[in-house]
A and B are shown apart, each in its own frame.
Chain A
Amino acid sequence: MQDGTSARQEIALRTGGRGRRPDSARLRRLNILVGALSLPLFVGLWELVSRSGAVNMVLFPPPTVVAAAVLEWIRSGQFLGDLLASLFRVTTGFIVGGVLGILLGILTGQFPVMSSLLSPLFHILRPIPPIAFVPIVILWFGLSEAGKLFLVVWGVFFTVWLSTHIGVQKVDRGLIRAALMLGTPRRQMLQEIVLLGALPYIVVGLRTAVSISFYTLVAAELAGTFAGIVYRIEIAQQNLQTGQVMGGLAALGLVSFIADRLFSALAERTVWWR
């Protein structure tokens, strides 16, 4: 830079007068624009196809009809009842399954005897999809809330158990040695090192379990109930209210999406040292 050009000029000279920044900025702006157009484009196309006469409008209603059905759902007051019923099932199932999963995961992760006792059983039960339990759950619990809770707990438990178990096992042995050298008593190792070391894994397991609790909710509400978003979808299907069905699906997607986002925001705070 002996000739007195500034760094920016130098870069401009070397790249033949075109800096690379303006190009990448233009590209980024284009991407944002396309991203903003994605949903409206999709909805518009849907509206056009539905009304074009190429498909049966009763089975494939346009977005405007779906929106009207959703508004009616909300206005009638049924939506709030359905939402609360579904949220209650998901939340209690998530909490009960999560707590059980964490406790047993610590137990099997930390104590080899417990692992030998329980892991084979859990590994056999874990791959059975919770939906497959619907028939026997109806036999056991009838149409009660306990049956719904059982299904959600079942789905959440194994995910959280496995991630906690792995998390506890994967705690850096070096940290435990360092803690031992600093006079940490073995009985305090769990609270001082193991739990915090496993926390990132536990949080990942819990986050996966959020979506799983919604999957199992579907099975639970199809198993027979009197309120709930999935229940409403099923009733609407029986009455051929396709707009209501699609509105229900959208509501379920939205609730599940919000739950996942809330949990990931919470998770970031839980693992505070990252």
Chain B
Amino acid sequence: MKLALASSPASVESAPKQPAIQVSNLSIVFDSNRGQTIAVDRVSFDVAPGEFVCIAGPSGCGKSTLLNTIAGLEVPFEGDILVEGSRVYSPRPDVGMVFQQPHLFPWKSVRRNIAHGPRMLGKSRTEANAIADDLIAMVGLKRFADAYPNTLSGGMQQRVAIARALANQPRVLLMDEPFGALDAQTRAVMQDNLLELRDRIKATIVFVTHDIDEAIVLADRVLIMSAGPGRILREVAVKLPRPRSSYVMVEPTYLSLKKDCLDVIRAEGLRAFNQSDAS
């Protein structure tokens, strides 16, 4: 313990400003039947440790592809991705992911779904279950610890998926429109839950959404993407106070931020529309 305490400030000093995620000049190309499609075109951005970044953009703008590539599930065409300073080749346990669909293992109870990650990393069943039980309490599903996923509502399933992604204590948590399939009420509750959860875990979060409100409510910084090919149009810093809840939506600062974002999206939408009209 002492050793760890003595060494940790030193390591912080040696790399005082190393970003948690560095994406540089990243392009992702897909082979399709009409030849090659550029999904993401020379995108660069950094995410600071502990920062909450939202990537917002229309569907088909490559934001999910971008996230999958950071996760190591897809291979970049060119460019680099560094997470915690090392290059991403394949999925790694210090990067957690929550998908749009919960993708829970249907044959495992809530507890065993969450314990799966720690088990795979070599923890004993007792240890893994203890981790799972802590997380179950954190996402408020104590009564459902032994339930199977098909008996849970969509929102509850997604809470399990979040708990499961956190069980390996990832340094980076990637979230791909996790609330996109939920109804508006559940979605607002889930956003507040996530904001609360975020204050307790220390992970860096990259959250993809097509909902500009969701992006502003959650993020420290919003990256607005354009479609076809995916590029980052604008970065908007969200300087709203924390702890935060979805109630920030009624504040004047929020509205002016939203106006900034909408202006960018609108201009881009018009440009894309005129382009398609001309061609």
Contact = CB atoms under 8 A, between A and B. Distances in A.
Interface in A169-205: 172, 174-175, 177-185, 188, 192-193, 196, 199
Interface string A160-175: 0000000000001011
A274 interface: yes
Nearest to A272: B107
B97 A181 contact: yes
Contact of B107 (A179, A183, A188, A273): A273
Nearest to B151: A273
Contacts of A196: 105, 107
Contacts of B101: 174
B150 to A, nearest CB: 7
A183 B148 contact: no
Interface string B50-84: 00000000000000000000010100000000000
A57 to B, nearest CB: 57
A184 B105 CA distance: 13
A27 B108 CA distance: 42
Contacts of B90: 180
B271 interface: no
B178 interface: no
Most B C-beta atoms less than 10 A away, residue of A181, A183, A185, A192 = A181
B234 interface: no
B229 interface: no
B106 interface: yes
B158 to A, nearest CB: 12
Contact of B93 (A174, A182, A273): A182
Interface string A54-78: 0000000000000000000000000
B103 A183 contact: no
A182 B162 CA distance: 12
Contacts of A272: 107
B107 A178 contact: no
B91 interface: yes
B148 A182 contact: no
Interface residues of B, number: 29
A188 B101 CA distance: 23
Main secondary structure, interface of B, reads loop
B271 to A, nearest CB: 34
A177 B73 contact: yes
Contact of A178 (B99, B121, B150, B167): B99
Contact of B117 (A177, A183, A199, A274): A183
Interface bin, chain A: 20 to 34
B150 A181 contact: no
B107 A180 contact: no
A193 B105 contact: yes
B120 interface: yes
A185 B103 contact: no
B103 A188 contact: no
B120 A178 contact: no
B168 interface: yes
A182 B90 CA distance: 12
Contacts of B92: 183
A124 B237 CA distance: 63
A184 B120 contact: yes
A184 B96 CA distance: 12
Nearest to B122: A183
Nearest to A175: B103
Contact of A180 (B91, B150, B161, B164): B91
Contacts of B167: 182
Contacts of B164: 178, 182
Contacts of A185: 120
Interface in A233-274: 272-274
Contacts of A184: 116, 120
Given A178-B103, A180-B91, A272-B107, A188 B97 contact: no
A177 B103 contact: yes
Contact of A183 (B105, B121, B161): B121
Nearest to B105: A175
A185 B93 CA distance: 11
Interface of B: 71, 73, 90-93, 95-97, 99, 101, 103-108, 116-117, 120-121, 148-150, 161, 164-165, 167-168
7 contacts: A180-B91, A192-B116, A192-B120, A196-B105, A196-B107, A273-B106, A274-B150
* Interchain residue pairs A-B with the least CB separation, the first 3: A182-B117, A183-B93, A178-B103
Given A178-B103, A188-B120, 18 more contacts: A174-B101, A175-B103, A175-B105, A178-B99, A181-B96, A182-B117, A183-B91, A183-B92, A183-B168, A184-B116, A192-B116, A192-B120, A193-B105, A196-B107, A199-B107, A273-B107, A273-B150, A274-B150
